[in-house]
Amino acid sequence: MGREEYLEIRAEQGEPTEFRDGFGLKAILGGLFVAFLVVPGSMFMFLMLGQYLTEAAIWVTLIVTLEITKRCRATLTRQEMFVIYSVTAGMLAAGVGQLYNFVWMPYFVRSAAAVQFDIVDRLPFWVAPPPGSEAYVTKNLLHQDWWPMLALMGVGILWTRI
């Protein structure tokens, strides 16, 4: 899109004349949709394809939310769409990044590729519990073998907040 097209579209939209709040029940339901469906779906797609689909997930979420509101004979304002867009982008970009490691590293440590290339024994203890760990059997993130990874994640979160 050229600059002329952008300016033409911008002129058609006009300047906003009033402030409207976009945070409401629809935005909360959109956030729950993101938390329970989009984030796990994005994690699954990352594990299967090996790449993040964050931008696609953001727009798919917005389109699905718009379609659901149409089916309910309701409307979404621009402000509500922006809040849903921002919540989706924030959850996928910031929060999920830390959680991918809890899914990816145990998968990688126990994968056939890591065993085949003899990488398993060379991974440090703070990356993930070793393949024969009790943490995988109990599926408990509070198991002692997860503590180094949890501690590093906590330090990383605190470091970025300072």
pTM of full prediction above 0.75: no
Q: What is the DSSP letter of 78?
A: H
pLDDT band at 67 (very low <50, low <70, confident <90, very high): very high
52: pLDDT strictly greater than 90: no
Q: Mean pLDDT, the chain, as a whole number?
A: 85
pLDDT band at 63 (very low <50, low <70, confident <90, very high): very high
The CA distance from 24 to 83, in Å, is: 9
Contacts of 123 by beta carbon, 8 Å cutoff, 6+ apart:
109, 114
Helix axes 39-49, 54-71, angle to 10 degrees: 140
* More confident call, 59 vs 45: 59
The DSSP secondary-structure symbol of 74 reads: -
Cβ-proximal residues to 106 (8 Å cutoff; 6+ apart), any chain: 128, 129, 136
Band (161; pLDDT cuts 50, 70, 90): confident
Q: Is the dihedral of CA 56, 59, 63, 66 positive or negative?
A: positive
Which residues touch 151 (CB under 8 Å, ≥6 apart)? 126
At CA 107, angle to CA 112 and CA 96, rounded to 5?
A: 150
* C-alpha closest to that of 24 among 70, 84, 69, 72: 84
- Model confidence pLDDT, tens digit, residues 101-149: 777 888 888 888 888 998 888 888 888 888 888 888 888 888 899 899 8
What is the mean predicted confidence (pLDDT) over 149-154?
87
